[in-house]
Amino acid sequence: MIDETDRTSKVHLGNEAVEYAKRAVAISPKNPDAQLAVAISVGKLQPFEDYQQKFDSVHVIKDAVDRVTELDPNNDLGWHVLGRWYQGLAEVDPLHRALAQQMGGLPPATFQQAATCFEKAIQLNPHRLMHYIALGTVYVEMGRKDEGRHLIEKGLAMENTEKEDPQLKHDGAELLEKLK
């Protein structure tokens, strides 16, 4: 999905990934990696969804990632995804939060909850640059700009080891530029 340039193809591949992840959960519901695959796949589709689908996805992601951290409390990616979930909800503006209220409401979420999850992810695996850039970004959003800058710089200095690392570094560098 990430490599695809055509929107229709991205959505098709994303839906395929969700279906495969759900099949994996059906086969092995106590497998944290299967649960994580659901949370990540559904999350990757969110930018392409309408408002109702995004609202529904929020709950699917949270259920899956809660299951991950319950089944394997040492899964750094589970904590990272949970942090992204809290961060995403903390960023929802009042207008969209009010619209969501009409559909059943959004769960409460704070940047501090996101930060706690990213801190846990770093504690569990200090070798993933995504954790540092995410925590730095949340710290910036919390007004802790110097700490945020330091963490983003630390992530940027790390070696790329995962497919999305170059994009994460690009996003982190852009945020640092805005902080100047």
Whether 2 shows a pLDDT value over 80: the answer reads yes
User: Mean pLDDT over residues 135-158, rounded?
Assistant: 98
Chain centroid to Cα 115, Å, comes to 12
Residue 35 and residue 72 in one domain: yes
Residue type, 109: A
Q: Is 149 within a domain?
A: yes
Question: 54 is in which domain, residue-wise?
Answer: 1-109
Q: What angle do CA 87, 93, 96 make, to 5 degrees?
A: 110
Least confident of 14-28, 37-51, 113-127, 156-170: 37-51
pTM: 0.93
Residue 102 and residue 155 in one domain: no
The pLDDT value given to residue 31: 98
Q: How much of the chain, in percent, has pLDDT values that exceed 70?
A: 100
Neighbours of 30 (CB within 10 A): 11
Q: Is 114 within a domain?
A: no
Question: Who's near 84: CB < 8 A, 6+ residues apart?
Answer: 43, 114, 134
Give dist(CA 39, CA 152) in Å, integer: 25
